[in-house]
Structure 1
């Protein structure tokens, strides 16, 4: 009788532990938002969520290896990448964010304008100084110092890199052919740093530097950021509205894996993206309990519904209602032992 009691108590502790703690890892792009969301979620439910901001590439690797409950990634995994996973993976968006060109240019007070070609040529190493005629031509009346450009970029596998490179590949055939798109790239030039915070740190400490970061990191570090010319020819400064417009008119597939960069919407900011959570459809693996699976489902549902109230205050756009419905449908596919959770 005593042994049965001890075993029952141990099982109760295990179940409680599974319900009260979840783990995730991945993108730094949504880390400020997730930090707020998970703090509020713990306050409301008592469930602790430990999210490590290690970059989208590392997050994709960890979910593939089944060492976390979920991964964060700014780019969806490709069909080829998902083949490495031992079972079916699902994606849901949680927010729309903007990747911005942040810079450190003493003496320049008004936001600079950038075209896609200029950004591509800076990151290709073709434009080397700030007073280059290509930059001056789109910024008439602005006195730009002749500082050399220090290019800052990510050194880790990064969804922010993927989004930035995806945009550049759509507006520059030279970028597409020479560099292409990916979480990690063979960079022609640049100083590497880990995470959005690392790139922002390089820009902040280096006069003449430019770096691509998620909007909130530019704002938190008080970095000037440039407006970017969209497909309609308008120079648009990143904000929640222009970022959310990137998804308007885009056909969102049932699995929600889609690119939002270089939107055809006339008022959209052109370097915008969903940020995703990635998790397994079948949750009975690696010793996971049904309670743990149910806790994950509850968290994911909260993030795409009630949790959306925290997006705009941290400079992320909310999900459109149609995308929320698709995300809820995807979450509803989760199973434990083949049965719906």
Structure 2
């Protein structure tokens, strides 16, 4: 069932035209950005056309960095990003940009070790050490001590990372910065970083391809891509000291912890920019992130503006039920009413 739902997710750019047999859509909403939520957005766009055949979507999954660039340049109607914009970026934008949170997801650490069964465990320092280029072989003592049940080979670790400006990288590097002081001081966080080790892959699909084809490799990707492509995923040690796999339940556990301290003040402008990595709780998976759609509050095209508001309202109220089948986690109920107010605040030009 999942395979049918995700048919076509490995295509970098998809245009969702009108359903077969129906009239050509009158309005096309253009977007670009994150590959992290692309499997889910692809389904949303298709399903929404069944609700409104008068609209189609053209979405280019080119990475969060490109989505941010294009929405700031007003080249698209909406951007998609797993990295929130800084105060300075918002200030420099040509209009007031809104962050519309959609769902949460886990970034899985995937690997391909021939002859080794599933069950790899990694501590934060082991994972950081691999990506810093300091741990170079699979049987390194820092890895082996937590994997005595596995016969780890003395083969060189082939490190794979994203080469494009990526929201998945932003979440992954945010996590490494939170758990490893050496990473924080030498590499840091962002959609693009100066990788100390490894080879790059442009886009989630290309990274998946490398992991599947290159023995002894390791990489990071949104969990839906890992599951659809039958990639092994590592259990990571969380703040409670437990090794946890990326699942919907462990993602939700992290989200619940991360959002406990978030309160939207009455009368104040909601700020949904939030990091969810390395949250406390025994069941929390440590690499979890929000993803956002970026839209301008003041819409210049009244037709597109109305269609965009209608779609955003639909996905908030109806589409969240689709998230579990594609391994994403919906927003907490406490956020729904506030996000709806934010969507309603979009001004559609007359």
Q: TM-score, normalised by structure 2?
A: 0.88
Instruction: Give structure 1 regions of 4+ aligned residues with deviation exceeding 3 angstroms.
Output: 16-19
Q: Choose which of 37, 44, 47 in structure 2 pairs with 1:40.
A: 47
In 2, Cα distance between the equivalents of 1:277 and 1:271? 20
Contact 1:23 1:50 in 2 (8 A): yes
Aligned-residue offset at 1:199 = 1.0
Contact 1:25 1:52 in 2 (8 A): yes
The answer to whether residue 235 in structure 2 is matched with residue 216 in structure 1 is no
Aligned-residue offset at 1:327 = 1.5
In 2, Cα distance between the equivalents of 1:326 and 1:19? 31
1:20 corresponding residue in structure 2: 27
In 1, Cα distance between the equivalents of 2:217 and 2:118? 16
The answer to whether residue 36 in structure 2 is matched with residue 29 in structure 1 is yes
Structure 2 matches for 1:1-341, cutoff 5 A? 20-46=27-53, 47-249=55-257, 250=259, 251-252=261-262, 254-284=270-300, 288=301, 290-337=302-349
Gaps of 5+ in 2: 1-22, 265-269
Q: Which moved more, 1:246-255 or 1:219-228?
A: 246-255
Gaps of 5+ in 1: 1-15
Aligned-residue offset at 1:323 = 2.1
Structure possessing the higher radius of gyration over alpha carbons: 1
Q: Deviations over 1:143-193 (max 9, x none)?
A: 111111000000000000000000000100000000000101011011101
Count of residues in Structure 1 that have an aligned counterpart in Structure 2: 319
Aligned-residue offset at 1:84 = 2.6
SS of corresponding position for 1:248: helix
In 1, Cα distance between the equivalents of 2:56 and 2:25? 10
2:14 corresponding residue in structure 1: none
Measured at CA, do residues 17 and 281 of structure 1 come closer, stay the same or move farther in structure 2, by a change above 3 Å? farther
In 2, Cα distance between the equivalents of 1:204 and 1:240? 23
In 2, Cα distance between the equivalents of 1:136 and 1:323? 42
Q: Deviations over 1:2-53 (max 9, x none)?
A: xxxxxxxxxxxxxx99963211100000111111111000122112111110
Contact 2:117 2:150 in 1 (8 A): no
In 1, Cα distance between the equivalents of 2:25 and 2:230? 40
SS of corresponding position for 2:289: strand
Q: Deviations over 1:73-98 (max 9, x none)?
A: 01111112223311110001111110
Contact 1:248 1:265 in 2 (8 A): no
In 1, Cα distance between the equivalents of 2:113 and 2:222? 19
